[in-house]
């Protein structure tokens, strides 16, 4: 048996193995060098025919050659495997230094922010925050507030009735409507609670107004009511002037002008000096004794004042918003300006 093939195999194998660039090539090389059809395997098969005396030496030589080549293959495999692992780690790598995608931060709507700002000012004066139903009974929206059946605000042209409205059959009292003002909570609250009263009521109100730059059929009001045994018009003016200073800042100037509301006597409106002009901000007045009588208070013993302001108006005046529709169209480019 000629072992020269083995010698040349042992001479060339290291170079071939070192040249295998990846595991697949190395596997192919393994089967060529030590596989079932390799020269070593072929020589092993021929051992039977060799001279019995030579067999152990030949067998040893073949075994040693196979071991040498296998060791070289294994060593190369370790190198290639760890290189493959490195490459996988590299391609899978998460770059933790990349800037994170920041989720868009939301805000409270300007109307909500304004209501919170106003109620906070009154809360710090000791007022309690209340809320009431948006679908109201005509009795609370009008009758208990000293508003006669003939008052124009009761007509369908101003008020949205929930049930079909029959002007002829109108008896007042039990018709259902979308409240046109937050004032009905004055009556509801006093009916359920004895004096003294210090409440503010933020909420949504509805009127048959046509949508334009200064009108919306849905808007928001904040009602206020203070009742005790000795409340005067001076308390009303002082409280509302304080509110204006807190809300608009220390340079805010206010003035009161006479007005009429069915549920207050006397009634007034408060104006604020803003951007070189007087702006009407709210209606107010001393609670009419008829309202106290309607809710079961003794109008000989208590006095009080009430006021009602439009939230959109406050926000528009304070932030210079020209069109009320900006507050309802929910364009994030506009709303996002008020964080
Ligand atoms: N409710 C009135 C309105 O919507 C506003 C108002 C005026 C409320 C005078 C009051 C008040 O409490 O005393 O126009």
Q: Which atom of ligand 1 is nearest to the CA of 285?
A: 13
Evaluate: CB of 142 within 6 angstroms of ligand 1. Answer: no
pTM, 2 dp: 0.71
- pLDDT, tens digit, for every residue of 17-26? 988 899 999 8
Confidence at 5, pLDDT banded by 50, 70, 90: confident
- What mean pLDDT is predicted for residues 143-153? 92
Query: Residues 248-270: pLDDT tens digits?
Result: 999 889 999 999 999 999 999 99
pLDDT tens-place string over residues 29-47: 989 888 888 888 888 888 8
pLDDT range class, residue 172, cuts 50, 70, 90: low
220's CB contacts (< 8 A; 6+ apart) are 111, 115, 202, 203, 204, 205, 310, 311, 312
Q: Answer for the pair 198, 126: CB distance below 8 angstroms, yes or no.
A: yes
CA 111 to chain centre: 15
> What residue owns the CA closest to ligand 1's atom 7?
283
pLDDT digits (tens, 9 = 90+) for 111-133: 999 999 999 999 999 999 999 99
CATH of domain 110-133+179-335: 3.30.930.10
Domain ranges of the chain: 4-91, 110-133+179-335
Q: Could you give the angle at the alpha carbon of 200 between the alpha carbons of 195 and 205, nearest 5°?
A: 125
Q: Is the previous residue joined to 117 through a cis bond, with omega within 30 degrees of 0?
A: no
Determine the distance separating the centroid of ligand 1 and the alpha carbon of 307, expressed in angstroms: 6
User: Is pLDDT above 80 for 2?
Assistant: no
Percent of the chain with pLDDT over 90: 59
Ligand 1 nearest-atom number relative to CA 225: 12
């Amino acid at each position: 048996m000629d072992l020269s093939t083995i010698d040349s195999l042992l001479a060339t194998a290291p170079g071939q193995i070192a040249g295998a660039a990846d595991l697949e090539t190395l596997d192919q090389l393994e089967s060529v060098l030590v596989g079932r059809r390799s020269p070593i395997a072929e020589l092993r098969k021929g051992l039977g025919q060799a001279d019995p005396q030579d067999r152990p030496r030949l067998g040893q030589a073949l075994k040693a050659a196979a071991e040498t080549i296998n060791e070289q293959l294994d060593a190369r495999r370790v190198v290639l495997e760890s290189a493959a692992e490195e490459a996988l780690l590299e391609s899978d790598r998460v770059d933790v230094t990349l800037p994170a995608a920041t989720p868009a931060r939301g805000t409270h709507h300007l109307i909500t922010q304004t209501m919170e700002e106003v109620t906070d000012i009154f809360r710090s004066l000791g007022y309690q925050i209340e809320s009431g139903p948006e679908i109201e009974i005509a009795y609370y929206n009008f009758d208990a507030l000293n508003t006669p059946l003939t008052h124009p605000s009761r007509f369908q042209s101003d008020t949205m009735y929930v049930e079909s409205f029959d002007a002829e059959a109108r008896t007042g009292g039990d018709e259902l409507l979308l409240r046109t003002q937050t004032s009905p909570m004055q009556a509801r609250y006093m009916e359920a609670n004895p004096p003294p009263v210090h409440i503010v009521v933020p909420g949504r109100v509805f009127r048959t107004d046509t949508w334009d730059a200064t009108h919306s059929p849905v808007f928001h009001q904040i009602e206020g009511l203070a009742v005790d045994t000795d409340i005067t018009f001076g308390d009303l003016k002082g409280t509302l002037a304080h509110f204006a200073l807190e809300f608009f800042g220390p340079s805010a100037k206010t003035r009161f002008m006479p007005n009429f509301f069915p549920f207050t006597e006397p009634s007034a409106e408060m104006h604020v000096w803003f951007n070189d002009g007087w702006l009407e901000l709210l209606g107010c007045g001393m609670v009419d004794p008829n309202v106290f009588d309607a809710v079961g208070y003794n109008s000989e013993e208590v006095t009080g004042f009430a006021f009602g302001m439009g939230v959109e108006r406050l926000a528009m005046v304070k932030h210079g918003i020209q069109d009320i529709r900006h507050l309802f169209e929910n364009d994030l480019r506009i709303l996002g300006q008020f964080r």
